[in-house]
Amino acid sequence: MDFIFQSNGQNSSAKAFYDHDNYRDTLKSDNNQFYGSSNVGYSFYRNTQNVQSTISANAYGNYSKTKSSSNNYKQDYSYLNNDLSVNYDLKYFITPANWFVTAAPDYILRYYKYKNREADNKSKNLTTEANLKIGGGKGRIEQVQDFRHAILLIDELNKRGVSKRNISEAEMIELSILISQLKNKRFFDARKQKEAELIALDSFFVDKGIVDEKSIQYFTGLEDIWTFGGLQVRESGKQVLFSITPGYSFDKNFEDEENNINENIMMRYNLSFVSKKPISVKWQRNYGFGIDHMYQKRLQQRNENYGEKGYFTQATVDGQIGYYPNTRTYFDLSSTVGLSNSGGENIFDKEQYSAGLRIATSGYYYISEKLRLGYSIKYESGKTGIFNNEVENTYFKRLDYYINLSYAIF
């Protein structure tokens, strides 16, 4: 659990006299700004033979006030925002078959207030939403990047010629367990954390007789791979999941006396399959597909154009390939294809079928110490009304890219 508070502000005033062609004027300005925020966060992760669970809770608030004036201009406004969110995701496994049941409650509470005194404009809003996903399935997905991290550490020691012998498979597993323990240990000082981690790793290699040369080359190599060798998340396993998620949402605008509430209940059904596999130390392959269906009943609505009911159904297929040849270079390519339908009175509305495609790739290529290349490209497209011959299809296309080339001439 962490608590963070920060605040900053400014107070300034100025006064100046102008005398030009026998015309004298005075310019005066005042400016007052205040900003403050607080954040309380709690997180917990557990992974045992029977339980995989994560808990995250966060309470965040900020307040800002600005008041300024000059000869012909004034502004005076304030802003307040408070958020509370709690999420718990639990999977309980029935081993060794890896059947599991899951429960994942989720809650959000938000209060917002804005006031502009000069423009006589203000708003005040309260929003809350609660969901509870329950379900079950078969299969298990584990994060395995710590085992890859252990392999990279051993490879680096071999490259630097400081290893006395080859490490056994049992020792490699023991090293990966130590790495997991170090990464999940609670520290309050980042510098002391790095020191404790390197001491623990050094003790492992020395006690096992893997190294005995206490050279600066050994320690710099150990520190470099420990810092940069475990940045990518690598996962392994297959999992099929069916879940049902009832939910409730409430939103109220306090500035309106009538017709100021949105209140909904919903029920969501999901069936999905995910497969993640590290093909090798350098390659990762992921794919999956799923079907989502959501029913929403609108109890109260500020917008009278919406009907009492709403339906949304979506089927998606996605895949990803990643290439990580070393700790400096990576490439990944992913794609998602989806078909969806939304309707007001019927579960499936012929006029409301949509199809979408997303392709994304990114990478960073450390060509040499002087030459480096980084890029990110994303293409998205979608069409609405694809099965309705009576209206013309509408479509959407978007391409985003980023390229960075760095070359040190001398």
pLDDT along the chain (410 residues), means of 10: 89 78 75 93 92 95 91 86 96 90 96 88 92 96 94 92 90 94 90 93 92 84 91 93 96 83 94 96 96 92 81 96 94 97 83 92 95 96 83 85 93
CA pair distance 21, 27, nearest whole angstrom: 17
Cβ atoms < 10 Å from Cβ of 306:
14
Q: For position 21, what pLDDT does the model report?
A: 66
> Tokens 């954040």 belong to which residue?
39
Q: How far is CA 369 from CA 101, 121, 362, 366, in A?
A: 50, 56, 20, 7
CA 58 to chain centre: 14
Is 390 contained in some domain?
A: no
Task: Assess if residue 381 is contained within a domain.
Answer: no
Q: How many angstroms separate the Cα of 387 from the Cα of each of 337, 348, 350?
A: 17, 12, 6
Q: Looking at the 3D structure of the chain, how many domains does it have?
A: 1
- Cα separation of 383 and 314, whole Å? 14
Domain that holds residue 151: 145-228
Whether the link from the prior residue into 96 is cis, omega within 30° of 0, is yes
Does 44 reside within a domain?
Answer: no
The whole-number pLDDT of residue 216 equals 86
pLDDT at 373: 96
158 Cα distance to chain centroid: 36
CB atoms within 10 A of CB 313: 19
203 Rama class: left (phi>0) / alpha (psi -120 to 50) / beta: alpha
Residue 70 covered by a domain:
no
364 falls within a domain: no
Looking at residue 391, its pLDDT comes to 67
Q: What pLDDT score does 88 carry?
A: 96
Q: How many residues does the chain have?
A: 410
How far is 237 from 276, CA to CA, in rounded Å? 5
Residue 179 domain flag: yes
Which tokens hold the place of 176?
Answer: 């990966």
Q: Is 236 helix (H, G, I), strand (E, B) or coil?
A: strand
323 contacts 331 by C-beta, under 8 angstroms: yes
pLDDT at 28 (0 to 100): 83
Residue 155 lies in a domain: yes
* DSSP run (H or E) holding 228: helix 216-228
pLDDT value at position 256?
A: 77
User: Does 244 map to a domain?
Assistant: no
